[in-house]
Amino acid sequence: MFLKNFVLLCSLVLHTGADGQYAPMKPITVKISPWQTRQALILTPENISKGKKYPLLICFHGRSIAGHDLSKIFRQGVARQIHEGKKIEAVNPKDNKKYEFIVVAPLAESWSFAPQDVEPMLDDILKNYPVDPSRVYLTGYSAGGWSVESAKTHSKTLSKRIAACVTMSPPILDSPYLKRYKLAADENIHTWYFAGAQDGYFLKNARSYVDSTNRYKPGLTRFYRI
């Protein structure tokens, strides 16, 4: 009996320690198909109000983060800011209300996430957490920027589910996706683009996405050289 209780206690300590290394985020799994899951980290508001729905921010990592080591997600982007103690919240200037976010940072096994993965992922998150489905936001860096751009131009069904995006240093999309920015324009997906002022490759890619959007609806994008 003593041995059984000792083993149980050890397993609890190990589990707590594993979760603690990701604080204030927590490790979860998210579905990318009916048969496949991927590791992810999640941040939820400290005091979730019963019946309240929260905006969702999904953060896609760059290629160097891909693999099986969940702690690598803290090396860049929003997850890094959270790990450094920054609050992921915003005050709406129209109503002066503070909005707290549910933040999910999924880990791809290679590259980043294909657009086909994003809709099942959204379904899974909305099923398990109090997310406002009208306020789903995507952000991504490098390969993760590719995930953002390909998701919002993949299909009308998926485009309808995305409220706005922030894309940083994105690779180029395949040509069929470049021809589908009318989907993003029709669904009014506002996007901010960021790229290094000295990096011609990413600047050119970001500019092509801005131009592809402006063709259908000027004013939906902002472009920042940093």
Domain count, the chain: 1
Range of the domain at 124: 24-225
User: Residue 12: inside a domain, yes or no?
Assistant: no
> What pLDDT score was predicted for residue 19?
61
> What pLDDT score was predicted for residue 2?
35
User: Residue 2: inside a domain, yes or no?
Assistant: no
User: Residue 109: inside a domain, yes or no?
Assistant: yes
> What pLDDT score was predicted for residue 109?
96
Mean pLDDT by 10 residues, the chain (226 residues): 36 46 94 97 91 96 95 93 88 84 97 96 98 97 96 96 97 88 97 93 94 95 94
Q: Nearest-5° angle of CA 45, CA 49, CA 51?
A: 125
| Direct distance between the N- and C-terminal alpha carbons of the chain, in angstroms, rounded to an integer | 62
Instruction: List the structure tokens of 77.
Output: 């982007």
User: Residue 217: inside a domain, yes or no?
Assistant: yes
Extended strands (E) in 6-125: 26-31, 37-43, 54-60, 89-91, 98-100, 102-106
User: Residue 106: inside a domain, yes or no?
Assistant: yes
177 three-class SS: helix
User: Residue 73: inside a domain, yes or no?
Assistant: yes
CATH of the domain at 114: 3.40.50.1820
**CA-based torsion, 86, 92, 98, 101: positive or negative:** negative
DSSP 25: S
> What pLDDT score was predicted for residue 21?
87
User: Residue 160: inside a domain, yes or no?
Assistant: yes
Backbone angles phi, psi at 82, to 5 degrees: -60, -45
> What pLDDT score was predicted for residue 4?
39
User: Residue 6: inside a domain, yes or no?
Assistant: no
- Cα 161 versus chain centre, distance: 13
